[in-house]
Amino acid sequence: MAADSTSTPSASRVLRVLLDTNVVLDWLLDRKPWSDDALPLWQARDTGRPITYISASAVTDIFYIARRQIGTTAALASIDQSLALEVAPIGKETLLRARALPGSDFEDNVAIACADVERLDFIVTRNTADFGHSPVPALEPLALLPYLPA
């Protein structure tokens, strides 16, 4: 169940988060200084806590951006790494939900709708202000650290 501003995920339940495309790219492309902030999240993800998701549309965005910066072969390797994450599907229901959200950035609204449909706890992004209208709370990578297991 998605968290709201008055609740936090239970310590006994595994946290489930959607990673915004920028956080995934920061890590995959080692974009400083943001990749340093994302590193603890990736290390925790390797232990299975939290369970990390990306939206299906993020996969194509990651390839497009990575290919322009590091070439096709390395971009395909980035896709392989991205597919180690859970992928939140995007169907008509999710797109209609995204379209109904306020805000002018449809890509962000799709991420919000994915997190909401999947009933995730948080969206992890560098641009929390862009997610102010989200029913799923948005946190920067370092702000997620208190929710991760020690």
- The torsion region of residue 9 among left (phi > 0), alpha (psi -120 to 50) and beta comes to beta
The whole model's pTM is what? 0.89
Q: Is the pLDDT of residue 139 over 60?
A: yes
Q: What is the pLDDT of residues 94-131, one digit of tens each?
A: 999 999 999 889 999 999 999 999 999 999 999 999 99
Q: Which sequence spans correspond to the domains of the chain?
A: 16-144
Q: Average pLDDT over the chain, rounded to whole?
A: 91
CB 5 within 8 A of CB 110: no
pLDDT at position 2 is 44
- C-alpha distances (whole Å) from 34 to each of 30, 40, 88, 116, 117 are 8, 11, 24, 25, 28
For the domain covering 16-144, report its CATH number: 3.40.50.1010
- The dihedrals phi and psi of 18, each to the nearest 5 degrees, come to -100, 130
